[in-house]
Chains A and B, each alone.
Chain A
Amino acid sequence: MSTATKPTVATVWLDGCSGCHMSFLDMDERILILANAVDVVYSPVVDPKEFPASVDITIIEGAVSSVEDAHKAELIRARSKFVISLGDCAVTGNVPAMRNPYSPKELFERAYVENATEPADANARRMKLPVVGVPALRPHATPVHEVIKVDLFVPGCPPPADAIWFVLTELLAGRVPDPSALTRFGK
């Protein structure tokens, strides 16, 4: 099969632990079959730094936590034919969303001032708050579908490799799969 006709797949890592990507890679030799069938055009595991202009299937891991995550999600949606939320962080917000009952300000205070040991003076500690060059946190870390339209949900923390394999092979065959027999919230 020539490269030009292969469907393109992108995987994106937003606010997640990368466990979903690990699970993806965990499908053993089947990964070779997949690699043959599709072109992975953008992913933490491949080289390109720019999200391509058009992608057939984009898989998103992680919640939308920062303003940058939200911009990425927008861009992905605009350039992808089919978007999958992979894993609980993308689907439900999961662990990143556990901060949501608190405001970003409270979080920063907790992490960088209250719980920091150095230096001794709280005001000096406050000076260490990272404010330059890091994307701003949104008030809430949200599931991807609260920001963009998502075409398929694959819950699980992480979703088992079998579920990912099933979903991708079905999609490649032109069917929209229901992976609920293979995975669930928190799996």
Chain B
Amino acid sequence: MSVMTVQSLTLKIDGKDVSCQAGQTILEVAREHDIEIPTLCWLDGLTLWGGCRLCVVEVAGSPKLFAACGTACAEGMEVTTNSERLQKYRKTIVEMLFSERNHVCAVCVSNGHCELQSMAQKLGVNHVHLPYRYPKLTVDSSNDRFRLDHNRCILCTRCVRVCGEIEGAHTKDVKGRGINSQIINDLDQPWGESETCTGCAKCVHVCPTGALTERGTAVAEMNKKRQFLPYLTLMRENDK
């Protein structure tokens, strides 16, 4: 048996002295101490993505911002998670997401259970000051049980990651780039024709918005259950 010694660090988050273990990220440590940092692409149990940029924080001594999800804590670090400047950036980023596709909350099956919607409310986004794009996007209803509505996708890739990393099917991926990026099944086939999809529904339940839903749900009826994720991740780690 070997005794692991993990170096412990002390730092300040929003003026609060906190301690943590070397290797922990700012986001992890903040959450352990009930300091709320907003995230959309990050999800406990999936690999780091770093794409939504909502978790950017300030670190004293650097003019640059750091994504809390991917930045390891360092000794003596002084982190600010919620300055006026950060709030402004976060609001603009959420507005960018609303402007990018056709998110019509009022007629969404995820209305009331959507992380984008509640994020807007939490950050005080009460309108979108960027022009809307109104792209022409499709809805894939070819699967008997699930539906993929590109109008409501924020490209967080949680579905891609859970499908590849947890279910191991790798049905989902992204095609195109930039503003034309889009979630696909297999090699851009209709979901219903996928030969790799196991029908496990994990993607549906990790999806933060109404982009991936169960069929047969009406407005505001789609409530996601993702308790399985920390459980599966824990089991997997125990296996190692």
Interface, chain A (partner B; CB < 8 A):
85, 88, 91-95, 97-98, 100-102, 140, 142-143, 145-146, 150, 153-155, 157, 178-180, 184-186
Residue contact B124 to A94, C-beta cutoff 8 Å: no
Given known contacts A91-B126, A92-B127, A180-B121, is B132 in contact with A185 (CB within 8 Å)?
A: no
Q: Is B135 an interface residue (CB 8 A)?
A: yes
Residue contact A157 to B105, C-beta cutoff 8 Å: yes
Contacts of A179 on B, CB cut-off 8 Å?
126
Residues of B in contact (CB 8 Å), total 26
Q: Which of B96-152 contact A (CB under 8 A)?
A: 98, 102-108, 111-112, 114, 117-118, 120-121, 124, 126-129, 131-132, 134-137
Give 28 A-B contacts (CB < 8 Å), ordered by A residue: A91-B127, A93-B132, A95-B106, A95-B107, A97-B134, A98-B102, A100-B134, A101-B102, A101-B134, A101-B135, A101-B136, A102-B136, A140-B132, A143-B132, A145-B127, A146-B131, A153-B127, A154-B126, A157-B106, A178-B124, A180-B124, A184-B105, A184-B120, A185-B98, A185-B103, A186-B104, A186-B112, A186-B117
Of A94, A150, A155, A184, the contact of B104 (CB 8 Å cutoff): A94
The answer for the CA separation of A92 and B103 in the assembled complex, in Å, is 10
Say how far B38's CB is from chain A's closest CB, in angstroms.
Answer: 15
Say how far A174's CB is from chain B's closest CB, in angstroms.
Answer: 20
Q: A97-B134, A100-B132, A186-B106 are in contact. List 19 more A-B contacts (CB 8 A).
A: A91-B126, A92-B104, A92-B128, A94-B106, A97-B132, A101-B102, A101-B136, A140-B132, A146-B131, A153-B126, A155-B126, A185-B98, A185-B103, A185-B105, A185-B106, A185-B120, A186-B108, A186-B112, A186-B117
The answer for the CA separation of A93 and B111 in the assembled complex, in Å, is 17
Contacts of A95 on B, CB cut-off 8 Å?
104, 106-107
Interface, chain B (partner A; CB < 8 A):
98, 102-108, 111-112, 114, 117-118, 120-121, 124, 126-129, 131-132, 134-137
The answer for the CA separation of A140 and B136 in the assembled complex, in Å, is 13
Contacts of A94 on B, CB cut-off 8 Å?
104, 106
The answer for the CA separation of A20 and B105 in the assembled complex, in Å, is 16
The answer for the CA separation of A92 and B94 in the assembled complex, in Å, is 14
Contacts of A153 on B, CB cut-off 8 Å?
126-127
The answer for the CA separation of A154 and B126 in the assembled complex, in Å, is 7
In the complex, which residue of chain B has the Cβ closest to the Cβ of A140? Answer: B134
Given known contacts A88-B106, A102-B136, A140-B134, is B128 in contact with A186 (CB within 8 Å)?
A: no
Contacts of A88 on B, CB cut-off 8 Å?
105-106
Residue contact B102 to A155, C-beta cutoff 8 Å: no
The answer for the CA separation of A92 and B111 in the assembled complex, in Å, is 15
The answer for the CA separation of A95 and B107 in the assembled complex, in Å, is 8
Given known contacts A97-B134, A100-B132, is B105 in contact with A186 (CB within 8 Å)?
A: yes
In the complex, which residue of chain B has the Cβ closest to the Cβ of A186? Answer: B105
The answer for the CA separation of A145 and B131 in the assembled complex, in Å, is 10
The 6 nearest A-B residue pairs measured at CB: A186-B105, A157-B106, A100-B134, A184-B121, A101-B136, A153-B127
Contacts of A102 on B, CB cut-off 8 Å?
136
Residue contact A155 to B111, C-beta cutoff 8 Å: no
In the complex, which residue of chain A has the Cβ closest to the Cβ of B122? Answer: A180
Say how far B129's CB is from chain A's closest CB, in angstroms.
Answer: 7
The answer for the CA separation of A100 and B131 in the assembled complex, in Å, is 12
Say how far B132's CB is from chain A's closest CB, in angstroms.
Answer: 7
Of B98, B118, B129, B136, the contact of A184 (CB 8 Å cutoff): B118
Contacts of B129 on A, CB cut-off 8 Å?
145
The answer for the CA separation of A163 and B107 in the assembled complex, in Å, is 20
The answer for the CA separation of A102 and B102 in the assembled complex, in Å, is 12
